[in-house]
Amino acid sequence: MTMDIGNGGKQVKINVADAPNIECENCQNIYFDKKYVIKKISKLLIGTSEDQLVPMETYKCSECGHINKDFVV
């Protein structure tokens, strides 16, 4: 798969298949599952009548369940 990625207004074509895989820091597995962390934003901070819940996507290793430090939100 190729992608056009902007770089300061200039388009760069890259082959995503050639990019290195991210490995689990714990077991070196390359497969991950999507998970969500839910953040609670106080109504006092955002000026609404209710607190807001904001989902933030992260990834955990599909083998051992570890979340790499770069994925922590």
Domain assignments of the chain as residue spans, ordered by start: 20-71
Q: Is 16 exposed, middle or buried (0-12, 13-18, 19+ CB in 10 A)?
A: exposed
Q: What is the model's pTM? A: 0.71
What distance in Å separates the CA atoms of residue 73 and residue 71, rounded to the nearest whole number?
Answer: 6
* Amino acid 64: pLDDT: 98
* Amino acid 4: pLDDT: 65
pLDDT in tens, 6-48: 666 678 888 999 999 999 999 999 999 999 999 999 999 999 9
> Could you give the percent of the chain with pLDDT greater than 90?
79
